[in-house]
Amino acid sequence: MITGEIRSQVDKVWNAFAAGGIANALTVIEQITYLLFTKRLDDLHTAKEKQANLLKAEIEDPIFTEGQDHLRWSRFKDFEAERMFEVYRDDVFPFIKNLNKDESSAFSQSMADAVFVIPKPSLLSAVVDLISEINMDDRDTKGDLYEYMLGKIATAGRNGQFRTPRHIIRMMIEMIAPTPKDVIADPSCGTCGFLVEAGEYLREQYPEMLVNKKEREHFQSGMFHGSDFDATMVRIGAMNMMLHGIEAPDLRGDDSLSQDADSFRDAYTVILANPPFKGSLNYDETARDLLQLCKTKKTELLFLALMLSQLKAGGRCAVIVPDGVLFGGSKAHQKIRKEIVDGHKLDAVIDMPSGVFKPYAGVSTAILFFTKTNSGGTENVWFYQMEADGLSLDDKREPVEENDIPDVLEQWKSRDASAENDRKTKSFFVPVEEIRENKFDLSVNRYKEIEYEEVEYDPPLVILDKLEALEKEIANDLKELRGMVS
C-alpha cells in the first residue's frame, strides 16, 4: 500500500499537470506511464548487467547499446531540469516509442501514435523525482501507485464505460476461481483491472505457478488477453499489467464487436468483463455471427453474444450488465437470455445496489455468471440480492460496516439447490421452468418473496377518541399560554 506521503506527492504532480494545461486524467496517466516504462527498461537492463558481471560474460540482449547511456533513467534523472527535458523529449521518448517495433509486445504496438505532451522542464523534473523516490522493485507498491492514479479518473468514459470498483472485481474473480491452466480474457479491457486482479489472485492461490517453467511462461505471455477500441486505454492497460508483473499480455486496440475481430472465437476458458452499458452499432459494422445470435444494435446485448462466441466449451464467464438486460421485453433481450439459459448454463445472478458505480453513475447493475456448454444444462439458478458492498452508496463512497460480499462468497461456495429454499432471504434458487414461464426474466424481484409484517391498528372509534382527547389537551395548553402573556 502506498503511503500518505506518496499520495500527497502524486496529488501535487497531478495539480502541476493541471496548472500546465493538462487536465484530462487519461492524458496525465498516459504521460506518467511513459516515464514508468522508461524506468522499467533501465531496471531490466541493470538486472542484465548484474547477471553478466556475475557470469563474467557479455550482456545478453541489452536494452541500451554503447552510446545510449544518457537514455537510462538512472543517468538522466540527475540532470538539471532543462537538460533532462531536452534529453527526454528528443532522445528518450523517440527511443521508447520505436523500441521493439517489429515485436508483438502490446505496449510496443500501442506506442505508434503516442505523443509526449509534458509542457515544461519543471513539471517533468517533478514527476521524475516522484517516481525516483518510490521503490519500484516492489511489485505491490508499483501496482498500488498505478491503482491510485487510475482512481483519479472521475468521469465516465465514452459509450457508458465506468471504472469497475476493485472489490467488485475481486469478488467476481473469487467466484470464477481461475486456475494456472486457464486462458483469461476481457473483450472491453479498459485499463485491464480485471486481468490485473486475476493475476494477483493466481499469485496468491498458486504461488508455485511462477516456479514451474511452463506455467510461468503461460502466465507471462499466453494467459491474459484483452481488447479495447481506445488506443490510450490499451497503452495504460499494458503498463498497468507490466507494473503488476505480467510482461507480455495479448492486448489489442480494436473493437471486439466488429467484423475485423471475428477471428477470436472459441478461444478462452474464462471471461471477466464490464462492457459498455450504452451505445449502439450499425448492423454493417457488427460481426455477422453475433447478429445471428442476437440481432440488435445495443452493445450491452451484443457483448453477451460475443462472450458466448469467444468462450471455449466449458468456459466460464462473469459479466456486469445493466438491470435492463435482465428484464428487457424486446425480442433481442429475450433471445439472448434464452440462449444463455437454454443453450448453455446460467449459474448465478447477483443483483447489486445502485450506488456501486458512484460517483461515476447511479446505474443499477447485476452480475451474470454462466458456463458455455453448447447443450444447455441450466436446472436451478442461484440469485443473490446484495444490499451493501462495504462502502456508502452515495457519491462519497466511504467505508461502512454493512458489507454483503463476504456472505456472497460464503453462500456461493456452500450453495446447494436441494437444500431448503427460502425466497425471503438474500440468496435463493429458482428452477429453470419458472424462469421460462416468466419469459426468461432474470430480475431478482421477479422471484424474491417479500415478507410483510402485520400491523394491528386500533378500531376507528378508539382512534377518534384519542384525537379528541389530544385536541382538548392542545386547547387547554393554548388557554394557559394565553393567560401567561396577557
* pTM (whole model) above 0.85: no
Q: β-strand 345-351 against 380-385: which pairing, if any?
A: parallel
How far is 106 from 29, CA to CA, in rounded Å? 17
Q: Which of 198, 155, 447, 187 is nearest to 320 (CA)?
A: 187
Count up the domains in the chain and report the number. 2
Residue 34 covered by a domain: yes
**70-87 mean pLDDT:** 95
Q: Report the share of the chain in percent with pLDDT over 90.
A: 48
Q: How far apart, in whole angstroms, are the C-alpha atoms of residue 333 and residue 352?
A: 20
Same domain? For 54 and 175 the reply is: no
Residues 165 and 100 in one domain: no
How many angstroms separate the Cα of 257 from the Cα of each of 99, 218, 279, 297, 306? 30, 26, 12, 11, 7
Domain containing 10 — which CATH number? 1.20.1260.30
Report the alpha-carbon distance of residue 293 to residue 279 in Å, rounded.
19
Does some domain include residue 173? yes
Same structural domain, 74 and 218: no
Co-location of 375 and 427 in the same domain: yes
**Nearest-5° angle of CA 30, CA 36, CA 42?**
145
- Residue 387 near residue 412, CB atoms below 8 Å: no
Q: What is the arithmetic mean of pLDDT over 280-298?
A: 83
Do 101 and 189 reside in the same domain of the chain?
A: no
Bridge partners for 389 per DSSP: 403
Q: What is the mean pLDDT of the chain?
A: 87
Say if 474 falls within a structural domain. Answer: no
| Residue 92 lies in domain | 4-146
pLDDT at 482 (0 to 100): 86
Strand partners for 322? 365
Cα separation of the two ends of the chain: 71
CATH number at residue 325: 3.40.50.150
Question: 389, exposed or middle or buried, with CB in 10 Å at 0-12, 13-18, 19+?
Answer: buried
116 in any annotated domain: yes
| Dist. CA 65–CA 246, nearest whole Å | 25
Q: Are residues 97 and 174 in the same domain?
A: no
Confidence (pLDDT) at 140: 63
Q: Are residues 9 and 108 in the same domain?
A: yes
Tens of pLDDT, residue by residue over 291-321, are 888 888 898 999 999 999 999 999 999 999 9
Does the residue 484 lie in any domain? no
Same domain for 178 and 41: no
- Report if residue 92 sits inside a domain: yes
pLDDT recorded at residue 156: 41
pLDDT at 160: 43
Task: Say what the pLDDT of residue 278 is.
Answer: 67
Is there a contact between 448 and 423 (Cβ–Cβ < 8 Å)?
yes
The residue among 111, 146, 181 that closes a domain is: 146
Identify whether the C-beta of residue 352 lies closer than 8 Å to the C-beta of residue 367.
yes
pLDDT tier for residue 60 given thresholds of 50, 70 and 90: confident
Task: Work out the number of other CB atoms within 10 angstroms of the CB of residue 85.
Answer: 21
Last residue of a domain, which of 146, 180, 215? 146
Q: Judge if 185 and 313 occupy the same domain.
A: yes
**Tell me, what's the pLDDT at 246?**
87
Residues 338, 219 share a domain: yes
Is residue 12 very low, low, confident or very high in pLDDT (cuts 50, 70, 90)? confident
Q: Is the pLDDT of residue 210 over 80?
A: yes
Q: Using one digit for the tens of pLDDT, what is the confidence trace for 370-416?
A: 999 999 999 999 999 999 999 999 888 889 999 999 999 999 999 99
Least confident range of 67-71, 288-292, 425-429, 438-442: 288-292
Residue 405 lies in a domain: yes
Helix (H) and strand (E) counts in the chain: 20, 11
Let me know whether 105 and 184 are in one domain: no
| Whole-angstrom distance, CA of residue 237 vs CA of residue 241 | 6
Q: Which H or E run includes 169?
A: helix 166-176
Between residues 79 and 458, the one the model is more confident about: 79
Query: For position 157, what pLDDT does the model report?
Result: 45
Q: Is the pLDDT of residue 486 over 90?
A: no
Q: How far apart are CA 111 and CA 147, in angstroms?
A: 21
Find which of 20-34, 125-139, 183-197, 337-351 is predicted with most confidence, using mean pLDDT: 337-351
Task: Give a yes or no: residue 285 inside a domain.
Answer: yes
CA distance 63 to 60: 9
Residues 137 and 197 in one domain: no
Last residue of a domain, one of 146, 165, 180: 146
